Amino acid sequence: MVISTDNLTFNFGDQTVVKSLSLRVPEGSIYGFLGPNGAGKTTTIKLLMNLLKTQQGSIHIFDLELQSNRVKILSQIGSLIEQPAIYLHMSGRENLLNRALLLQVPESRVEEMLNLVHLTNAAHKKAGQYSLGMKQRLGIALALLSDPKLLILDEPTNGLDPNGIIEIRELLIKLVTKHQKTVFISSHLLGEIERMATHVGIINNGELLFQGSISELQTLSQPLIQVEADNTVDAANLLTRNNYEVTDVTDNYFYVPYTSKKQMGELNALLNKNGYAVYSISKQQKDLEKLFLDITQTA
């Protein structure tokens, strides 16, 4: 395990923000740390970085205890926490050079990193004039500068455009598959995590509700078939009579759990045969909120 925490608990005053968290992040994984805003994601990350003092429980990173091996552990971690911390009065290149100096990393890495995040052309521009996406990319370059074994990224795709998100995603996948890195990435977007993560932890109100591989999550997060038809109530009744499970009916839509493409076709044919006009039929991923409900209800 690259990261393992045991019974990690953290209070701000009398409010418990993180409740007996036991994370298991295996080596070579992209671990998606998922949760709505205010779930305790950033607090957990700050605990992992030793920015907040561990109050209860323990944290081991690279199988070393965090408090007593702080510098040794941090030298293997690159991080991006909340908004990237950048000196706005310096250019992007100067920001990287400054960090390279602090970490005693050769200067050539700076050009490499600028290239990697496509900031070479803007390298001499003051970081204060960067767009949000450029700042985010510079933040990622700073995190990667020392070529760390573990990357801890807190919502790294915030403010990025779709192209930027895809680039970051591909970069992270490349780092893990080709360079044997481990990535711990937090997000409130299930869709984003699903596309790259190998492992997922879901946190809500400071509690870990689910932890496992992405395929384990997918069995939990069953997609639904959304059908738009005339007279949805009658159509839904017809399906129930034919042994379909209908989960929800509204004025315009009704929903049936998805099992296969074939089932979707059969369902469509059945409706047509019985004279219901189907306006649209589509497969829908459950959103995070519903998934949370599911997970909390089964728990």
Partner 1 sequence: MAFWSAILLPLLLCLLLFIGFYSKGDAIAHEPGFMLWLQFAGAILGIMGSLILPMLIVFIAYSVNSIEHKADTWKTLFSLPISKLSVFAAKYFYAFFLVFLCLALFVLFTLGFGNLLGAIKPSLRFTEYHIEGILTKVYFKLFLSSLGILSIQFLLSLLFRDFLKPMGIGFIYTITGVILAGNHWKYAYWFPYSHPMLAIQALLEGSHAKPGPAGMPVIEIDIFSKEIYVSLGIAILVFIAGYFIVLKKSVK
Residues that bind partner 1 in the complex, under the rule CB under 8 A: 46, 49-53, 70-72, 74-75, 77, 79, 81-83, 85-88, 102-103, 142
Q: Which is nearer to partner 1, 85 or 293 (CB)?
A: 85
Exposed/middle/buried for residue 48 (C-beta within 10 Å: 0-12, 13-18, 19+): buried
Which position has the token pair 């003092």?
53
Q: Which is nearer to partner 1, 53 or 241 (CB)?
A: 53
Q: Which is nearer to partner 1, 51 or 293 (CB)?
A: 51
For the chain, list the strands marked E by DSSP.
3-12, 15-21, 24-25, 30-34, 56-61, 64-65, 77-80, 150-154, 182-187, 199-204, 207-213, 224-229, 248-249, 253-257, 278-284
Q: How far apart are CA 16 and CA 11, in angstroms?
A: 4
286: three-class secondary structure by DSSP: coil
Q: Which is nearer to partner 1, 28 or 128 (CB)?
A: 128
Least distance between partner 1 and beta carbon 86 (Å)? 6
Q: Which is nearer to partner 1, 50 or 157 (CB)?
A: 50
Q: How far apart are CA 231 and CA 270, in angstroms?
A: 15
Q: How far apart are CA 73 and CA 62, in angstroms?
A: 7
Least distance between partner 1 and beta carbon 85 (Å)? 4
Q: Which is nearer to partner 1, 103 or 270 (CB)?
A: 103
128: three-class secondary structure by DSSP: helix
